[in-house]
Structures are given as structure tokens and as C-alpha cells.
Amino acid sequence: MRMTVNDLTIGYTDEGRGVPLLFVHGFPLSRGAWQNQLDALRSSYRVIAPDLRGFGESEAGTGAIPMAQFAEDLHALLQQLATGPVVLIGHSMGGYVSFAFLRQYPKMVRGLVLVSTKAGKDTPEAAVARRATAENVQAKGVQEVIKAMAPKMLAADNHDRAMAEQVLGFMAPSKPAGVIGALLGMAERPDATVELARISVPTLIITGADDTLIPPTESEKLAQAIPDSQLNIIPHAGHLVASEQPDKFHHVLEEWLDRVAFAVPVREL
Ligand code: MLT
């Protein structure tokens, strides 16, 4: 499906009925990365997954894309879809966007799922490296970034070629302006660490045990700081844990959704 959001055409999925779950993908991915979850959950929940601006089927704007802008786009989409408060599920950069969304629209969040992400901002060195990568994309296009990122998405001992191809497919539609904008936006994102203790919605933290891009220690820090939180570290999974171990991921997510009583029958909504 497509919708105009803040003057850009955004591609998104909106299926099923019930408590709305909003899935926010990471960098430089697209909503296809959530397909297993959308398929598994749409019979019990309303599942919504947009392509962030500049990724997947969504148009890109120009310049840096602050995490606050991505959050504003998500909010505008939810307003148009009249969802009410959602369970917000963010993977990696989608987690950074989730912190911005929570800051800007706290009343729109009824639960939070943080997948392979972290609260801290970039170190000065990491920010410099991101800006250099952005210049490189400007000069040469997105292929190098995709080639560099794709192998880091899965566990090092995962040699499933079909899955590796699938990961490339999630990244292939990324536009240069989207990749550049997100790199610059991530480089300047604020630190969310001090906000963690104030998160007042039930929170599930999931990570892959073999994630080298954002190591599980980051998820442990989130779990220590967020009051009503649960941490699950899934074995044999790297950064893209939801695609790599969909059954285990699904089991953890659904058990948590049930436990925190989000699974209210549709008629009570
Ligand atoms: C992502 O998967 O979204 C990125 O690895 C996040 C980042 O580069 O910090």
C-alpha cells in the first residue's frame, strides 16, 4: 500500500485486526525484513510496517534525516490510519527512531519492543565514519554500503545462501538520498540513555547472541535501565535476529504480548 506522508509517498503494510503493532526496520533495510512477523501475527493483531523515507518503496527527501523526522513520518502515518496507541517494535536504527517517537508521542505507545539496538549516541569517531560513508554514497551510490552491511546482518557461522540473498533484497531498493540522510541523521542523534529510566510502558528487549554490529551487552544495558523490561538473547542469531531465527523470535514476542495482556479481543477495542 502507498500513502502520502509529509509530502512523500510512503510504502507500507497494514493487515489484520486487533491491537496495532508498528514494525520499524533498521538501516539500510526495508519492511520486507519483518515479513515473517507480519505473516505470523496478522491473524491476531493489526500489523503495520512502513518503509522509512528513502528505503524500500518510500520516496526520499533531501539532506540529513533526523530520527525525529522518521518519528514524525510514523506518527503522520498512524494518524491517517487512525490506529490509536501502538506496540512499537524497532530494530536497530528503528530502535533509535523508536526512542525519538517515544520522546515526541509518548501517548501513542502502549508497549515497546527494542530489537538489536542501543540507547547511546555515536562516538565522535563513529559519527565521522558515518559522514565519510555518506560522502562515499554521494560519489559512488549505495552498492558499497550494501556490500559492507549485508554480511554483518547474519551470524558469522550462518552460511545459508538463500537467507543472505534475501537480506540483499531487503537492502536493494534503498535510495542514495535515503542512505545518506539516515547516515547523517544517525550521526547527529541524541543520546537516549537518561530517558530509559522514565520508560513507563512494558518493554521487551530482544537481541541475537552473535550480533557483532550491536553486541548483546547493549541490550543488557537497556534491560538494566528500563523499569518494566524483559530481555531475551536468542542463540544462533546475528544482527537480523527476526529474519534469522523467526520461530524463536516469534515465540518470545507472542509470549510477551500475551503476558502483558495486549492480546485483548478485537471487540473490546
Ligand atoms: C542498523 O541495522 O539499523 C544499523 O546497524 C544501525 C547503526 O548503524 O547504528
What ligand 1 atom has the least distance to the C-alpha of 26? 3
List, in sequence order, every beta strand (DSSP E) within 101-174. Answer: 109-115
How far away, in angstroms, is 159 Cα from ligand 1 center?
Answer: 22
* Alpha carbon nearest to ligand 1 atom 6, residue: 93
Residues with CB under 6 A from ligand 1: 26-27, 92-93, 186, 213, 239
Report the b/e string of 215-240 with b at 16+ CB within 10 A. bbebbebbbebbeebbbbbbeebbbb
* Alpha carbon nearest to ligand 1 atom 9, residue: 93
How far away, in angstroms, is 218 Cα from ligand 1 center?
Answer: 13
Grid cell digits, residue 248: 524463536
Where are the alpha helices (H) located in 188-245, listed in sequence order? Answer: 216-225, 241-244
| Beta strand 86-91 pairing with 203-208 | unpaired
Pocket test for ligand 1, best of 89, 92, 128 (most atoms within 8 A of CB): 92
Q: Is the pTM of this model over 0.95?
A: yes
- CA contacts within 13 A on the Cβ side of 147: 7
pLDDT in 10s for each residue of the chain, 269 residues? 999 999 999 999 999 999 999 999 999 999 999 999 999 999 999 999 999 999 999 999 999 999 999 999 999 999 999 999 999 999 999 999 999 999 999 999 999 999 999 999 999 999 999 999 999 999 999 999 999 999 999 999 999 999 999 999 999 999 999 999 999 999 999 999 999 999 999 999 999 999 999 999 999 999 999 999 999 999 999 999 999 999 999 999 999 999 886 655 444 44
What order do you get walking across the sheet with 20-24 strand by strand? 2-5, 8-15, 46-50, 20-24, 86-91, 109-115, 203-208, 229-234
What ligand 1 atom has the least distance to the C-alpha of 213? 5
Amino acid (1-letter code) at residue 158:
N
Report the b/e string of 37-73 with b at 16+ CB within 10 A. bbebbbebbbbbbbbbbbbbbbbbbeebbbbbbbbbb
Q: Which of 89, 97, 77 is nearest to 114 (CA)?
A: 89
Grid cell digits, residue 158: 550462518
Q: How many CB atoms lie within 10 A of CB 103?
A: 15
What ligand 1 atom has the least distance to the C-alpha of 92? 3
